[in-house]
Amino acid sequence: MDVSSSNEEESTLDQTAEMSEDINTEEDLDPQEWELVDDEYVVLNLLGLISEDFLKTCDSSRVKVIGLLDSEEPVFQLDRFVFVGKREKASGTCVLFKVDKDEEPSTSEEEESSIFRKPEEDSENVGIKYFCCTEKTLVMNQAFLSNKND
């Protein structure tokens, strides 16, 4: 065994341990630098050539949002579909509900990954429950992207 390489490995491990200790010290975290943010809900209105069947089976890992908080025109990507939108105030109050099932949660991977699933029509133990209300909406129009010609 080479003694010099062993010493190099030990010094590298020591440096890594020191760096992780520096990162994790609570002295560096100033509570005044953090801002408490409440949850804020908006209704997303998708306009374009997208089918309801696609929304039911869409995988949540294929969703991307760009500029939701700081842009005048946020961009929403849902799998291969891209939407560009604008913020609007609803003409009334939008009330949001969630599905309330008395049954055990499903463990099916397909059902867990779908972000727009509807309750089964034949299930007797499905109800809805008040979730929240909001006056904020995002009206998103489908955008068709093309290659940029140089």
pLDDT number for residue 128: 85
Model-wide pTM > 0.75: no
Contact 79, 58 (CB under 8 A): yes
**pLDDT tens track for 118-134:** 556 555 566 888 999 99
CATH topology (fold) of 39-143: Immunoglobulin-like (2.60.40)
**pLDDT tens track for 64-123:** 999 887 888 999 999 889 999 999 988 889 999 988 876 455 455 555 555 556 556 555
pLDDT number for residue 24: 44
Q: What helix, strand, coil percent values describe the chain, rounded to 5?
A: 30, 35, 35
Kindly state the average pLDDT of the residues 43-61: 86
Domain boundaries, the chain: 39-143
**pLDDT tens track for 5-51:** 444 444 333 433 344 344 444 455 666 777 777 788 888 899 988 88
- What tokens does 23 get? 């990162």
Other Cβ atoms less than 10 A from the Cβ of 13: the count is 10
Contact 103, 8 (CB under 8 A): no
